[in-house]
């Protein structure tokens, strides 16, 4: 038993996160540098054969550890999140963890420079260890989430992968062209407070755009909203503009804006009301008839800014 340590109950082990395949590169040697650089083999971009990966990996969640890194009296380390999850009991030796920081490992990690874990997808950044996580959260090579609304789809990938996935798995309609004219129909619209219509994807200027149409509430007011998302990063999305229009009976409602990147979830865009918002009563007025059925025609155009 370690000094001051006490045995504690068994703890649950947690599954490892998915591996990332990283391309192999031979590191350059430089006797003048004070940073340690490692090759691109293995999980998180660290070579497993030099022991660095094993040192920095939390034994519980299998993620890389960042300060504060904790250790038990026997020297077993783990991250802060897992320290709370295991109820202050070391998962390796079952002794009380206490509040011991592993300052040596934290300083060692500070000396490292590592590749982005999306190196195999095209990112060639070499980053200080403590900058790596933030970079990867915003890396332009980070895989995109599936843009399909109305389901908790967990598929991620690059744009060609997602296009094939939307077409084959979600049966999404694919169209070519920069103008569109869509009709949205719903029986008994007064009984529907939240609804998502089938996503439509348009290809123009060599890029893909997702047209969304949803019913939801703003406060107590039922509304419909149409908006466009760009299948790519925000920097590319800003090169385009679009307009949407609905109308009938000599009246017209229009919207013009910049498509949002699919890096922003459809719910985030919807909740920000960044699109054509139509009050239900007005939508039913545009639908004509006895206002018991939604028959709303949304037309639009996409263009590239000069």
pLDDT, position 9: 40
User: Is there a domain that residue 30 lies in?
Assistant: no
What is the Rg, in whole angstroms, of the alpha carbon atoms belonging to the chain?
A: 26
DSSP 3-state of 234: helix
Residue 35 in any domain: the answer is: no
Cα 107 to Cα 30, 69, 101, 183, distances in angstroms? 21, 11, 11, 61
Contact 150, 266 (CB under 8 A): no
Specify the pLDDT at position 151.
67
130 domain-assigned: no
CA 5 to chain centroid, in Å, comes to 42
Look up the CATH number of the domain holding residue 86: 3.30.40.10
Look up the pTM and report it: 0.67
Give the confidence band of 50 by pLDDT, cuts at 50, 70, 90.
Answer: low
Count how many domains the chain has.
2
Domain that holds residue 176: 166-304
Q: What is the CATH number of the domain that holds 296?
A: 2.60.210.10
pLDDT at 150: 67
| pLDDT score recorded for residue 26 | 37
Of residues 171 and 88, which shows the higher confidence score?
Answer: 171
**Mean pLDDT, residues 116-144 taken together:** 86
Please check whether residues 185 and 253 belong to one and the same domain: yes
């Amino acid at each position: 038993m370690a000094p001051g340590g006490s045995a504690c109950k068994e703890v649950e082990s947690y599954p490892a996160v998915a591996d990332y395949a990283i391309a192999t590169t031979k590191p350059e040697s430089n006797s003048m540098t004070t940073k340690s650089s490692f090759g691109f083999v293995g999980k998180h971009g660290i070579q497993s054969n030099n022991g660095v990966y094993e040192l920095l990996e939390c034994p519980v969640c299998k993620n890389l550890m960042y300060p504060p890194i904790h250790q038990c009296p026997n020297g077993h380390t783990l991250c802060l999140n897992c320290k709370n999850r295991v109820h202050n009991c070391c998962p390796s030796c079952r002794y009380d963890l206490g509040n011991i920081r592993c300052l040596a490992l934290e300083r060692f990690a500070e000396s490292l420079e590592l590749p982005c874990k999306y190196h195999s997808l095209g990112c060639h950044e070499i980053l200080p260890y403590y900058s790596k996580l933030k970079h990867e959260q915003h890396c332009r090579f980070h895989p995109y989430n599936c843009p399909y609304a109305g389901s908790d789809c967990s598929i991620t990938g690059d744009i060609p992968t997602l296009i094939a996935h939307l077409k084959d798995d979600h049966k999404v309609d694919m169209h070519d062209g920069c103008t569109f004219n869509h009709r949205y129909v719903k029986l008994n619209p007064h009984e529907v407070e939240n609804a998502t219509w089938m996503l439509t994807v348009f290809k123009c200027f060599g890029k893909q755009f997702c047209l969304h149409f949803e019913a939801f509430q703003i406060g107590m007011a039922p509304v419909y909203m149409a908006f466009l998302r760009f299948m790519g990063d925000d920097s590319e999305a800003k090169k385009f503009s679009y307009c949407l229009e609905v109308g009938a009976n000599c009246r017209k409602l229009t919207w013009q804006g910049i498509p949002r990147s699919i890096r922003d979830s459809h719910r985030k865009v919807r909740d920000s009301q960044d699109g054509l918002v139509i009050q239900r009563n007005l939508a039913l007025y545009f639908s004509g008839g006895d206002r018991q059925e939604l028959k709303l025609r949304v037309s639009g155009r996409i263009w590239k800014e000069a």
